[in-house]
Amino acid sequence: MILERRQSPRERRSAARRPLVAAVVKRAGETVHLAQAANIGPLGMTLRHVGDAAWAVRTPVALTFALPGGPLIQVRAEVVFDRPESGGRTVGVRFAGMAPDHAREIARFVEQHGPT
């Protein structure tokens, strides 16, 4: 599959995303931020946070969050975009590693909930 760079990130996305409102602890090295999930898919998620601290593309991050009614999930991820938004920033991350049971929980959540 060839990705067309002129398309918006939403159009380039190859996996479904579902809306998710959840608190997310985001760590990069010693830096810790509290963010809010906007959506999630089997390959990544979009986060929003207040403040103007930008995250460089390809920054490795560790995320901790819970899906509604689910267990605490911990994943390794990588920043794919970071842009300013009204009152804060929106950050897209691609998952880089997680426990198989966490991957199943995310896949089940995405499958059971409506489209973005």
Query: What domains sit in the chain, N to C, each tagged with a CATH number?
Result: 13-112 (2.40.10.220)
> Does the structure show a pLDDT above 90 at 10?
no
Q: Sorting pLDDT into bands at 50, 70 and 90, what band is 87?
A: confident
What is the pLDDT at residue 5?
Answer: 45
> Does the structure show a pLDDT above 70 at 4?
no
Kind plus residue range of the DSSP H or E element containing 44: strand 44-50
Distances 63 to 11, 59, 102, 114, 115 between C-alpha atoms, Å: 25, 12, 12, 24, 23
* Contact between residue 99 and residue 106 where contact means Cβ atoms under 8 Å apart: no
pLDDT digits (tens, 9 = 90+) for 91-102: 999 999 999 999
Q: How far apart (Å, rounded) are the C-alpha atoms in residues 101 and 23? A: 20
pLDDT digits (tens, 9 = 90+) for 23-45: 999 998 898 989 999 999 999 99
pLDDT digits (tens, 9 = 90+) for 33-83: 899 999 999 999 999 999 888 889 999 999 999 999 889 999 999 999 999
pLDDT, mean of residues 13-24: 85
